[in-house]
Structure 1
């Protein structure tokens, strides 16, 4: 474990306790989320070191690193994902004015880059997990990058996507600076992350599954994420709701709380969260579109 003495975003040194959550996936240990008093970033602290974090992903139920179907939740997730992939590709094609060069940073098993490949994009995948990277490489029949130094040697890119990835990135500022530098002027950085300011986060508290400690190192509210990304020469263009996440996260959250999924409650909670977000904009997860100036 490593205990941060400086905020990963602003280097502030004064933190306050925010919440304590249990790792429900692997270790069953308790982890503390702290809040930076300067920039308000929420982050898991202490957290596993770079040498040990990989062990916290070693679960057959960690969906983004595994292509097998093991139950109704996995089946629901993958069914919705098949629709969402097409929607995501349409989003980036619209903002880019057509196909181009796209880097999916943290591509998992390659589902999104496969969708883009089939639609005519020049695809580049990056994935540090060995098993997921192998599956992604087989899916798209090309090499998947595993080291940031390989990205630094790439030509400028039109679009870079991070679909529920930024919350996992240990070297936050270093990685964001590198990705910003790889974008062409006018290119787009697309980031999807859970939103701890959502109604379902408030409803489930420490059982809210999207805290997912210690794999989620950061927990970004819209204002904090926007302020952080805009320090790298990008400007927020819009944020897009990920409405299904409210239902999916509610299912996992009831399982965390009760030991089994309450499907009726999950449906109700998801609807309540999305209805509230229609007024506040605080959906369970949001996709942020930033343009390089």
Structure 2
């Protein structure tokens, strides 16, 4: 039996402080969280898990919510650029539904999947059609499917990718945003890099891994877009994990440096991938 190589060992800094290994998968050029807990729900049971709340109490919360509002308009522009003939959208892992509320206001037929009951309830208060799982969609097809920092959370990745691609119209567009473990900030912060976020993040992607995973379903990456704000936000959290306190100036510098280096390497902290079926 081939011995599995470990990239590094990190831990759940948010809730349990349990340790997890990041195992190297050379076939896909990605990392896999090991072990992968059978009961993942308990790792989301905190008011501090920001994508399941609309709160803006702390300084970091306020930064997150401010940047989120700015990026929402960018996301809508991206949708309109790559889906000119149809306007039905499925947002997988839609959280509290802000993005889908905006698409609905832009005359999109909007649906969401959100397994977290609390986040799903908040989305429904925004009059969003949201379900807990794929099965409730009854094989409905969509012009656009989006996963904004969600693919890394999905257990049984090959099966999930199959379900996602099967729900897309023949000429539809798949838009995926995920962290990039080959970015400068990931290499600098190592086990303290907040975007590892184990065990909520089960998979850790490179640019090549997204190409490899979706090539099996005959999908091609037609555009890659940097998410430049992510390096700053992730660095703020990473400084806290590394040093036990907020180092705002250091975090801002590391975030800036990550983006600066990525101008040459293209290895930004997070990336958006636009995919079409070949």
**CA deviation vs aligned residue, 1:61-88 (integer Å, no higher than 9, x gap):** 1010111222010001100100100100
Q: Is the 2:43–2:200 contact (alpha carbons within 8 Å) kept by the matching residues of 1?
A: yes
**What residue number does 2:74 align with?**
87
1:174-185 pair list within 5 angstroms: 174-185=159-170
Partner of 1:8: none
Q: Residue 165 of structure 1 aligns with which residue?
A: 150
Across the aligned residues of Structure 1 and Structure 2, the Cα RMSD in angstroms comes to 1.4
Q: Is 1:263 paired with 2:263?
A: no
Deviation at 1:151, TM superposition (A): 2.9
The 1:207/1:147 distance shift into structure 2, 3 A limit, reads: same
Matched ranges for 1:56-205 at <5 A: 56-97=43-84, 100-139=87-126, 141-154=127-140, 156-205=141-190
Rounded to whole Å, the distance in 2 between the matches of 1:273 and 1:185 is 37
> Which has the larger displacement, 90-99 or 183-192?
90-99
Match of 1:248 among 226, 233, 237: 233
Distance 1:149 1:99 in 2: 23
User: Are the counterparts in 2 of residues 14 and 36 from structure 1 also a CA contact under 8 Å?
Assistant: no
User: What's the offset of the Cα at 1:152?
Assistant: 4.2
Deviations 1:33-58 (A, max 9, x none): 10124333201011210xx2100011
TM-score (normalizing by structure 1): 0.92
Shift of 1:283: 0.3
Matched with 2:192 is 207
**Aligned twin of 1:38:** 27
Deviation per CA, 1:154-207, whole angstroms, max 9, x where unpaired?
1x2110000000000002111111111111122111100000000010110100
The answer on whether the counterparts of 2:90 and 2:110 sit within 8 Å (CA) in structure 1 is: yes
Alpha-carbon distance in 2 for matches of 1:64, 1:142 = 16
Higher alpha-carbon deviation: 193-202 or 229-238: 229-238
Per the TM alignment, residue 267 of structure 1 is displaced from its structure 2 partner at its CA by 1.1
Counterparts of 1:179 and 1:114 in 2: how far apart (Å)? 21
Using structure 2 for the length normalisation, give the TM-score.
0.97
Gap regions ≥5 residues in structure 2? none
Structure 1 unpaired stretches of 5+:
6-12
Matches of 2:196 and 2:186, distance apart in 1: 9
